[in-house]
Every structure is written in structure tokens, then in C-alpha cells.
Amino acid sequence: MHYFDCGKIQYEGPSSKNPLAFKHYDPSAVIAGKTMKAHLRFAAPYWHVMRNELSDPFGPGTAQMPWDDRSNAVENALARIDVFFEFLEKTGIDFYCWHDRDIAPELNDLAASNAALDAVVEKLKAKQKETGVQLLWGTACLFQHPRYAQGAATSPDARVYAYAAAQVKKALECTHALDGLGYTFWGGREGYATLLNTDMKRELDHLAAFLHMAVDHAKKIGFQGPFYIEPKPREPSTHQYDSDAAACLNFLREYGLMDHFKLNIETNHATLAGHTMEHELTVSANAGRLGSIDANRGDTLVGWDTDQFPTDIYLTTQVMLVVLEMGGFTTGGLNFDAKRRRESHEPIDLIHAHIGGMDAFARGLKIAHAIREDGRLGDFVKARYSSFDSDIGAQVEAGEASFESLEAYALQGGEPALASGRQEMLENLINEFI
Ligand code: XLS
Ligand code: NI
Ligand code: NI
């Protein structure tokens, strides 16, 4: 049975008018010594592709899923896998990500849910082997079930905390069984709505203990990681503990977890935090902790996580500038944590959506590479800081300056003549390439 009304999507080049073709993503084309495929490492999220029914707070799902009987049966979960792999094969996406509860149903008790997961993982393993598809990361869904309404690893209830730990233990083991390259923690309910009922310090201590136990368990089973933390400032909680990249890095440092974690940065979470995506990526990369990307975009008119497909070439260019600057992904990749609009309810819309994201990132890659090759942008930034290359500036950077030596310098140097930041000129320069 085939559900996507198309063949394998081919690269046809920029002049093609075929909506079911890549205009820019040419997987085998080499840029800066690496194929586009190797640079971009596209991944598809099981939750959006297979499980998102496209409901909104005002109405039920619209997505046509003729393969899905909407039951909680393991057979239904197994049947979805074939459809997902048809989707991966047709789009040419080589990686995927899941939550435990997307791939397998949550049943009456933990043991039954674990058994369902085992059955699904066995089939995923066979499919991976058959196709060469890899698991970019796994994660446990600790936000949907009502037991997690007040948090999972930050729940005030130790019984809920234990349940969450058991779920992560199993999800980690399943990730490892599938040779997953990473494991993600997105703290969906790790936050609070009011401090009137919240002991924030105690909750954060519990969260850190939880993550340390995850590190220990990974060691025990031989999972090499990395672990990712995915920052998001709000939604569903009013105040999320992992609010942005800087807050996550601070938390990891404070609790001695830095060596085991990298960050998974999502575009729409960055903008909800009041940052740009390139800000969040740069903060992470500066700390040597940029691991992976959830590639989507928000809507400037809407204040929640709209998870739209990334189609903005400026955005993908900025993302790829940071990725190229850090020397590319290692274990991470570009996971389209994005869903179709409720109006785009046909299976083929999934293909259109991913083609758009892949082409936008292919262009971003080409443009970012051209900007780097051209060198004017990099040279400008280097020149802007050149007063720190010698003399008093070099002494500052070498830790050899003091307030006395700087005062002596300022007294004899007179009023500094500041050079222009040339923002508009640089914006024009970027537009030369877009
Ligand atoms: C939700 C998050 C979620 C994580 C995985 O906003 O983006 O989908 O990526 O739990
Ligand atoms: Ni995400
Ligand atoms: Ni998100």
C-alpha cells in the first residue's frame, strides 16, 4: 500500500516548475568538501509526521490518515511505521526522531506500555536496517499524560518523579537499541504557573538529580550520547525552567552536567524567548554546546509555538552561517519539528512541506557558504576588533592589563575616534547573496 501520491522526490534544479521536485537540494552536490546531504542531516519528527492530527483549541484534527484506525492497538502503531518509512524514502530524509508515546501507545500500566514499545522498536530496528535510516534522537513524552500536569522531573510528587524516571530509563534503552545518535530532554512541564505553590530551588535540585541519574544509566547501558536539552521559555508552563540557551547553560554548569549535555535549539522557541535563532545558536556554539537544531519557524503575529516549516531564506542562511562556522554537525542535524497548517490536510501536503524546508535549507547552505568564501563579512568583523590584536587591547586579552595600565593609556590617548558599525552596509552585503 502506498499513501503518498508521488515517486521519490528528485532534484530538478532552480528552473523546474514541478512542485514535487527539489529546486535547490541536490543531496550529492558537494559544497566546501562535503555533500549537501552530509551538511544538512535532515530529520523528520515522528510526532508531527505520523501523529499530528492538526487540531487546534477550537476544533478537532483535519489530517487525513487513511492508514490509521485511530485505535491504541499495537497493530495500528506497527502499521504506521510502514507509512513513515514510505514518507522518509520519498523525501530522501535519512534521520528521524521520536517520543516514546508517538511510536507506541501508552497502555493501562507501565509494564504494558513498555511491552508495546518493545514490539514497535523491534520493527523500527528492522526498518532502519533495511533502509539505512538512522535515529537522530529519542525522547520520552513527559508532558501529555495528566500525571505530569504539575511536572515530571520537577513534580512535587515523588511518585510521579519515579514514574517519569522509569519512562526515561525505558526510552533511553530503546534509543540505544536503535543505535540512536542522541537523546533529548525537552522539559515540557518542567516549570510552574505560580510561585505561590512552588519551591523553585527544590524543583531544580530534583531536575538536576534526575539528569545525573540519566547520565549514570547511559553509562551503565553503554549509550554514548550526547544528551540534548531543548530550551523553551513558555508554553505549556507559564515559566519554563529551560527558558533559553543561556539559562540552560547556567543550569548545566551549576549542577556539574556540562560535559554530558549539548543544546538542541528550536527556532520558534528562540523567538518565544525574545531572541533571534542566530542569537540562541551563537550562545550555544560559543559554549561549545550546539548539538542539534529543531528547524521550524514561528509567526510574528502569533505568540505561541506555531511550528511552521522554515521557508525564510534569511533565516536558513543565518542558521547555516553558524553551523558552518562551528565546523558542521557531529551527532546532530536539522530536525523539522514542524507541522502543516490545519488547512493542509492531505498526505501529499506532508511532502510539499518537507520539500519546502529542505530546499530553504539547501539555499541557506549555498548562500552561507558563498558569504564565507567571499570573506567581506568575516573581514569586517575581524577588522572591527583589530584594536585588540596589539598594544593595550592585546594586553587585555592576554590578561596582562589592569585598571592602572588602562587608566594610564586612556589619560595619554585622548578621546577615542570610534569607527562606524556599518549595519546597513552589511545588510546590503547579505542581500547581494540572497
Ligand atoms: C515542543 C518541543 C518538542 C520537543 C521534543 O515545543 O519542540 O517537540 O522537540 O519533545
Ligand atoms: Ni522541538
Ligand atoms: Ni517546539
313, 357, 298, 301: which is closest to 333 by C-alpha? Answer: 357
CA distance 272 to 269: 5
Please answer whether residues 127 and 138 qualify as being in contact, where contact means their C-beta atoms are separated by less than 8 angstroms: no
pLDDT at 302: 86
19 in any annotated domain: no
**Residue 390 Cα, ligand 3 centroid: separation in angstroms?**
45
CA distance 405 to 392: 8
Q: Which of 374, 396, 414 is the last residue of a domain?
A: 374
Q: Report the nearest atom of ligand 1 relative to the CA of 232.
A: 6
**Burial class (CB within 10 angstroms; exposed 0-12, middle 13-18, buried 19+) of 349:** middle
Strand bridging mode 239-240 / 191-192 = antiparallel
13 in any annotated domain: no
Q: Domains in the chain: how many in total?
A: 2
User: Which three cell numbers mark 53?
Assistant: 492530527
**Residue 107 Cα, ligand 2 centroid: separation in angstroms?**
25
DSSP state of 146: G
Whether residue 337 has its Cβ less than 6 Å from ligand 1 = yes
Q: CA 309 → CA 266, 390, 428, distances in Å?
A: 12, 46, 26
84 SS3 class:
helix
Q: Which of 357, 374, 391 is the last residue of a domain?
A: 374
402 in any annotated domain: yes
For cell 531543548, the residue is 230
Please answer whether residues 67 and 80 qualify as being in contact, where contact means their C-beta atoms are separated by less than 8 angstroms: yes
- Portion of the chain with pLDDT greater than 70, in percent: 100
Q: Domain span at residue 172?
A: 25-374
Nearest residue (by CA) to ligand 1, atom 5, is 186
Please answer whether residues 140 and 100 qualify as being in contact, where contact means their C-beta atoms are separated by less than 8 angstroms: yes
**Burial class (CB within 10 angstroms; exposed 0-12, middle 13-18, buried 19+) of 291:** buried
pLDDT at 1: 86
Same domain, 362 and 394: no
Q: What is the phi/psi pair of residue 182, to 5°?
A: -160, 175
CATH number at residue 345: 3.20.20.150
428 SS3 class:
helix
Same domain, 363 and 420: no
Nearest residue (by CA) to ligand 1, atom 8, is 337
Nearest residue (by CA) to ligand 1, atom 2, is 186
Same domain, 102 and 161: yes
Mean pLDDT of 398-412: 98
Same domain, 161 and 253: yes
pLDDT at 419: 97
**Residue 233 Cα, ligand 2 centroid: separation in angstroms?**
12
Nearest residue (by CA) to ligand 1, atom 6, is 305
pLDDT at 319: 98
3-state helix/strand/coil string of 161-186: HHHHHHHHHHHHHHHHHCCCCCEEEC
75 in any annotated domain: yes
Is the per-residue pLDDT at 404 higher than 90?
yes
Same domain, 250 and 315: yes
Whether residue 91 has its Cβ less than 6 Å from ligand 1 = no
Q: Encode pLDDT of 336-351 as tens digits.
A: 999 999 999 999 999 9
Same domain, 397 and 369: no
DSSP state of 308: B
Count CB atoms within 10 A of the CB of residue 399: 7
Same domain, 89 and 220: yes
Q: Which of 330, 351, 374 is the last residue of a domain?
A: 374
Q: What is the phi/psi pair of residue 315, to 5°?
A: -60, -50
**Residue 73 Cα, ligand 1 centroid: separation in angstroms?**
24
Whether residue 137 has its Cβ less than 6 Å from ligand 1 = no
CA distance 264 to 332: 8
Q: Encode pLDDT of 260-304 as tens digits.
A: 999 999 999 999 999 999 999 999 999 999 999 999 999 988 888
Whether residue 186 has its Cβ less than 6 Å from ligand 1 = yes
CA distance 283 to 246: 7
Same domain, 295 and 328: yes
Same domain, 390 and 366: no
Same domain, 281 and 387: no
Whether residue 294 has its Cβ less than 6 Å from ligand 1 = yes
CA distance 424 to 430: 10
Please answer whether residues 184 and 228 qualify as being in contact, where contact means their C-beta atoms are separated by less than 8 angstroms: yes
9 in any annotated domain: no
Q: Encode pLDDT of 130-188 as tens digits.
A: 999 999 999 999 999 999 999 999 999 999 999 999 999 999 999 999 999 999 999 99
Please state the pTM of the whole predicted model. 0.97
Put residue 327 in one of left, alpha, beta given phi > 0 → left and psi -120 to 50 → alpha.
left
91 in any annotated domain: yes
Whether residue 339 has its Cβ less than 6 Å from ligand 1 = no
Mean pLDDT of 189-217: 98
- The one-letter code for the residue type at 218 is A
Same domain, 210 and 159: yes
User: To the nearest 5 percent, what fractions of the chain are helix, strand and coil?
Assistant: 50, 10, 40
**Burial class (CB within 10 angstroms; exposed 0-12, middle 13-18, buried 19+) of 103:** buried
Is the per-residue pLDDT at 77 higher than 90?
yes
Q: Report the nearest atom of ligand 1 relative to the CA of 335.
A: 9
For cell 490509521, the residue is 68
Q: CA 385 → CA 42, 80, 288, 382, 426, distances in Å?
A: 36, 55, 22, 6, 16
Count CB atoms within 10 A of the CB of residue 313: 17
Same domain, 286 and 412: no
* Residues with catalytic function: 99, 102
Please answer whether residues 137 and 184 qualify as being in contact, where contact means their C-beta atoms are separated by less than 8 angstroms: yes
40 SS3 class:
helix
